[in-house]
Amino acid sequence: MDIIRVIFSFTPVSYGFALLSLLIPVILLRVFQSQKGYATQLSPESCRRIGLRGRSNLADHQDSRYSSGSDPGISPDGSPLWKVKALFIYPIKSCRGIEMDHGEIIRTGMKYDRQFCFAQQVTSLPSSEENKDGSHTVKSEWNFITQRTFARMAKVETEVWIPDPSLPSYSPHAEFVKSEGCIVMRFPFSPDVDLSWGGVKALASMFAAKFCGQPEPSVELRIPFNPSSDRINEKGYTSEKMKIWKDAPEALNMGVEVPEDVMAKLKYSLGVTNPLTLFRIDTQKYREVFKCAPKKQDVGYQTIIGMADSYPLHIMNLASVHDIASKIPEGYYKEFNPLRYRANVYITGPPAFSEDSWAKARIGDCNYHISCRTTRCKLPNVDPKTAVRDRVEPERTMRSYRVIDKGSNSACLGMQVTPLVEGTGAISVGDEVKLLEQGEHFFLKV
C-alpha cells in the first residue's frame, strides 16, 4: 500500500522528469553511436587525409625568441637562421585552415589552397527606368562572403582527403578517387531544445558532443575536390558568374552537392539570410592577376589564382606579428594568434618588417616574386579560435603606425607573393629563406 501511495503521489511533471531521466541515457548512447558511425562513413574510400598530425608548429608562437631578428645564415647546429616556421592551406575561402608540414607549389599558390568559396545571392532594388511592359529591372548576382561579414565562418572546419594507391582497399573506381579526392566540411550547429521528442534528441546530441570533447554538435558533409565531367553532368552543376571584389569569374556552382537541410543549418550557423551556395574555381578559367604581379613577358606566363583575394601566396614574418602584439594595449589579449592573418607561409629569422622591402626570395627549391605588401581590413579582428570579432583591435594598433604604402591608406602587414614556377615546386617547414633582391613597393588596387 505504501508503494501505491508513493506512485500516485507523483504529479504529471514528476512522471515526465522520471521518464526523461530514463530516456536521456538511451538517446545519448544512440546519438553518440550514430555520430561515431557517421564520422567513420565520412572517411572517404581509397583516400587519406593530408595535414600535420600532432602539435602545431605555431604552438610556441608567443616565445620571445621569435620577436627579434637576425642576419641570414646558418646556426651552429646547421639549421638556417631564416626559415619556414609553419605552413597553412585554406581550401574554402575564409573557413578554417589546415596546417601542413610540407606542400606542393603550383602557379595558383599552394595546392588545394582557396579553390572553393561560399557566395550569397544579392538582389538589387528595382531600377528607376521602366521597361516597355512597365516593369522595372531587378538584378541578382552571387557575391562572395568572408569573415569580414560573417565571423562564424572561422568555425567551419575543412579537411582534404586525397587518393592513396598504397591503401589495401584502394580502388581506382572509388567515388572520390575520380575527383582527385574530396573536401570534408564540418560546422557547429546546436538544434533547438524543447519538450518535444525532437527537443529531447537535440539535448542528447549536445551532451554527446560534450562527451566527445566538442563545445557543441556539428554537421559534416563531403564535397568532391575536382569533380569529373561525368559528375558535373550527372549532378547538374551550373557555370555561373560569381563576384569576388572587382572580378566576376565563371565558376562551378556546387550547391547541388549540399543537401537542402544541411545548407539550411549552415546558413543558420553563419547568420546568412540570403540564398547561399558553394562555388569552385573552374580549372579552365582561373582568375588572371595583373597589378603588381610579374609581367608575362618577363616570366613567360600569366599569374593566376583561384579564390584568393589578390595573389597566389601570402607570407608572414612572425617577428612582425610580435611587434604588432607588443603595441596592443596591455591585457587586451591573453594570446594574440598569428592565424588572424591567414597566411600560407609563416617565417622566422628576419627582423620585424624587413620583408616590407623584399622583391625576390628563394624558399626551399623555389624562387618567389614578392609582389606587394598585404593591406589589412577588419578580418584580423576576428579571433580564429572563437570566431568572435573585436570592434577595434588589432586594426586600431596597425593603423597607428603601419599605414606605410603610398598606394593605399590601409595598414600593411605581410607580403603578397607569386611563385616563379612554370610546373610545380615544393615547400616544407624548416626550409631556408633567402633574400635575393630588394626594391620599392607601391600597392595597385586594379
The answer for residues whose C-beta is within 8 angstroms of residue 42's C-beta and 6 or more apart is 184, 220, 221, 222
Cell 508503494 sits at which residue? 3
Q: What percent of the chain has pLDDT over 90?
A: 79
Poorest-pLDDT segment among 2-6, 128-132, 384-388: 2-6
pLDDT confidence bin for 17, thresholds 50/70/90: low
Task: Give the integer Cα–Cα distance in Å for 441 and 375.
Answer: 12
Task: Give the integer Cα–Cα distance in Å for 87 and 261.
Answer: 34
Whether the pLDDT of residue 6 is over 70: the answer is no
Report the pLDDT averaged over residues 22-35.
51
At 162-195, the pLDDT tens digits run 999 999 999 999 999 999 999 999 999 987 554 4
pLDDT confidence bin for 278, thresholds 50/70/90: very high
Whether the pLDDT of residue 197 is over 60: the answer is no
- DSSP result, 187-250: EE------SSHHHHHHHHHHHHHHHTT-SS-EEEEEEESS--HHHHHHHT-EEEEEEBTTB--E
The whole model's pTM is what? 0.86
pLDDT of the residue at 211: 47
Sheet holding 157-163, edge to edge: 47-49, 157-163, 182-188, 218-224
Neighbours of 411 (CB within 10 A): 24
CB–CB of 316/358 below 8 Å?
Answer: no
> For the chain, what is the mean pLDDT?
89
pLDDT of the residue at 145: 98
- CA of 65: how far to CAs of 1, 60, 286, in Å? 78, 10, 40
Task: Give the integer Cα–Cα distance in Å for 200 and 60.
Answer: 42
pLDDT of the residue at 302: 94
Which of the 8 DSSP states describes residue 254? -
pLDDT confidence bin for 415, thresholds 50/70/90: very high
Max CA separation in the chain (angstroms): 99
Whether the pLDDT of residue 105 is over 50: the answer is yes
Task: Give the integer Cα–Cα distance in Å for 375 and 352.
Answer: 17
Task: Give the integer Cα–Cα distance in Å for 210 and 204.
Answer: 10
pLDDT of the residue at 5: 54
At 366-408, the pLDDT tens digits run 999 999 999 999 999 999 999 999 999 999 999 999 999 999 9
By DSSP bridging, strand 140-144 and strand 238-243 are parallel
CB–CB of 93/158 below 8 Å?
Answer: no
